[in-house]
Amino acid sequence: MTAKIIDGKALSLKLRVAFRARVSKLIDQGIRPGLAVILLGDNAASRVYVRNKINACDDCGLKSFPHLLSPDTTQDQLLELIEGLNEDEEVHGILVQLPLPPHIDMRKILEAIAVDKDVDGFHLYNVGSLVVGNSIFPPCTPYGVQLLLDTTGIDVAGKNVVVVGASNIVGKPMALMLLQKEATVTVCHAKTRDLAQHTILADILIVAAGVPGLITGQLVKRDAIVIDVGINKLPDGSIVGDVDFASVKERASWLTPVPGGVGPMTVTMLIENTLRSAERRLGIGRGIGSEGWDAASL
């Protein structure tokens, strides 16, 4: 049986329709949500990501504040910019595009962003809050994966879930979010011995290792649900994930494609977090996964 495709692009488009309605309501109350995006340097991939985020703001009616800085911008200059954005009433979310140049202390920069504007979900407060299941802004990629599972009708409670990759951006927060949903979670990483003995037992396999084609059909339990977070550019210019799509689709029950799976959801959840920030300023408590949303209806 060939796996059913979990279409992140289609879900993203549905969400953005709902986002536009939320933006209109906020504008009626005197607030237009605004996202500040900071980019240092000339990294080609980072420029594409920043452009996609600015385009998403335009698509949903948010105001964007791009800050494209030279690679020799000092850490003090960057901190001064963030301090000003923290105080700016028009800015509801602040995103610093990673990676940063070597002379910048990433942790110090991320901690400088006000917690109530940390829409990337990387501040220590938001990361720590994941442990108790009360994060204001969940990290965007794990948040998108969670919603893909929810809207597909996949209940993770009691399931064996294996996360391949232990980054602070995806793997670790993903594991914490799954634990809050009562899944049994195993996290594999570069030092894991015999990866296959873990992946073959997974009811749900989430792969975020940054290694093209790492997971083949032989490593996947029959009828498993496979979420491919990887985005890798090959020498011929093609984009592939960490999962060998051709072999895994013959064993999995559900599978995300690359591109068109998790990627569109990451940007869309950034917009969701920015909207949530603006709504919090008005005392509106809503968002995906909370009382204001019914995931099954999306």
Cis peptide before 33 (omega within 30 of 0): no
**Phi, psi angle pair for 205, to nearest 5°:** -120, 120
97 catalytic per annotation: yes
Query: Beta 232-233 vs 239-240: how paired, if at all?
Result: antiparallel
- In whole angstroms, what is the distance from residue 262 CA to residue 226 CA? 11
* 40 and 78 Cβ atoms separated by less than 8 Å: yes
Catalytic residue among 120, 150, 203, 244: 120
**DSSP 3-state assignment of 233?**
strand
Is 120 an annotated catalytic residue?
Answer: yes
> Exposed (0-12), middle (13-18) or buried (19+): which is 235, by Cβ within 10 Å?
exposed
53 part of the active site: yes
- Buried-state track 197-224, b at ≥16 Cβ within 10 A, e below 16: ebbeebbbbbbbbeebbbbebebbbeeb
What order of strands is seen across the sheet that includes strand 93-96? 63-69, 34-40, 93-96
Q: Which two tokens stand for residue 73?
A: 């911008």
Please say whether the beta carbons of 141 and 267 come within 8 A.
no
Positions of E strands within 114-253: 160-164, 184-188, 204-207, 225-228, 232-233, 239-240
One of 97, 118, 146, 203 is an active-site residue; which one? 97
Two tokens at 181? 């949903």
Q: What is the largest CA-CA distance in the chain?
A: 57
Catalytic one of 53, 172, 181, 249: 53
Q: End-to-end distance of the chain based on CA atoms, in angstroms?
A: 26
Which residue has 């059909």 as its token pair? 217
Active site residues: 53, 97, 120
